Amino acid sequence: MELKRVVVTGLGAISPLGNSVDLFWENLKNGVSGCGPITKFDPQFHKTKFACEVRDFDPAGYGIDRKEARKHDLFTQFAFAAAAQAMEDSGVNTDQLDKNRSGIIWGSGIGGLQTFFEEVQAYKPERPQFTPFFIPKMIANIAGGLLSIKYGFRGPNYTTVTACASASHAIIEAFNKIRLGQVEFMITGGSEAGVNEAAMAGFNSMRAISTRNDDPATASRPFDKDRDGFVMGEGAGALILEEYGHAVRRGAKIYAEIIGGGMSADAYHMTAPDPEGTGARLVMKWAVEDAGLSVTDVDYINVHGTSTPLGDIAEPKAILGVFGDHAYQLSISATKSMTGHLLGAAGAIEAIATVLSLRDGIIPPTINHFTDDPEIDNRLDFTFHKAKKRDIRIAISNTFGFGGHNATLALKKFA
């Protein structure tokens, strides 16, 4: 069968670098760190006292009044806000959409962890009573379900839960639904609200997050010898995907084209990556092949690049394994150095960064690099310190999650 073309026609972002796509992109290009001391709770007794928080977020600005907000966990509020931005940005008139052929595939790695934590804290054995909103606030699929209710979309609606690869899997699934001709309009992306007591303490116990409390702004150090873990982030990213002909007929602006996606498993360890990057190698290879490309066609990789000791060694190995000598011609950047790690929303916010890189011909930087790691091939161009101009035709975006879940998006500059 003939596959349909799939284009990106709307973007929305709630992030530690700003609560709009324009502000997010401006700060990303300028190498701004979104990290600072935690303000959402008192971190006095936590090993890590900093994070990349979303600041100045007002749900009322997205039609969620105070009464309604009490029914929704913060990760759902983030999803509503990012999706509302993307829908407005797309310029679509929902009354003119075929709502049976419009859907939502969303990603979240954890869902309503803050709700779960608060309700369990308040639990008393002698009075085992929870708010009636406990379950619907907590479950990870609720954001996508509520978005379908808001917009009246009756097409495919489900949530991908693959840890840090969740949003990328959601985008690939939405892409596939459109290119197979099953739908013509999709809201996709992901949201996460992980800056809370439970998440911070849990990741501290795993020794997964940085404890550089003396210098939070430089704590996220992808590929640096002295990296000591990722920095917790939060927020949401939303993308509007459309069948190309549908977008053209309604006169939509087009940001970029999605041309392929890869999915693989490490089949190695609960939380550690395969040290040889086998799963990461496969997922990049398959994304390139799915797009009908040669590895030499790729210009830029927005890498997973979390600033963890093991992950930051495995991913460059995988890149070299896939791209060979062409790896040294690639531009590479780890935008988590600025945003922190948005967990299940990471793939969405990084897909937006990749789309804008293609549109504007700008490689955002990898900040906070101080010392080369001898275990990493530093002949690779990690775009340390400052953004640079480059005409990018093809880009890929990697996300890898606990459990060995890997997802890679392949995107093309629209012309």
* Residues labelled catalytic: 164, 304, 341
Q: Is residue 290 within 8 Å of residue 391, measured between CB atoms?
A: no
Tell me the two tokens of residue 248. Answer: 């053209």
Smallest Cα–Cα separation from 260: which of 404, 104, 395, 160? 395
**Tokens 């395969």 appear where?**
274
Backbone torsions φ then ψ of 135, nearest 5 degrees: -70, -50
Question: What ranges make up the beta strands (E) of 170-255?
Answer: 185-193, 234-243
Rounded CA separation 323/350 (Å): 21
**Which ranges of 196-277 would DSSP assign to H, the alpha helix?**
197-205, 244-249
Please, which residues bridge with residue 407 across strands?
A: 263, 399
Rounded CA separation 75/86 (Å): 17
Q: Is residue 171 within 8 Å of residue 260, measured between CB atoms?
A: no
Rounded CA separation 4/123 (Å): 51
Q: Is residue 115 within 8 Å of residue 77, measured between CB atoms?
A: no
Q: What would the DSSP string read from start to end of 18-74?
A: BSSHHHHHHHHHTT----EE--SS--TTSS--EEB---S--GGGGT--HHHHTTS-H
Q: Is residue 159 within 8 Å of residue 107, measured between CB atoms?
A: yes
Is the dihedral angle over the CA atoms 95, 97, 101, 107 positive or is it negative?
negative
Rounded CA separation 396/88 (Å): 26
Rounded CA separation 87/198 (Å): 33
Q: Is residue 174 within 8 Å of residue 188, measured between CB atoms?
A: yes
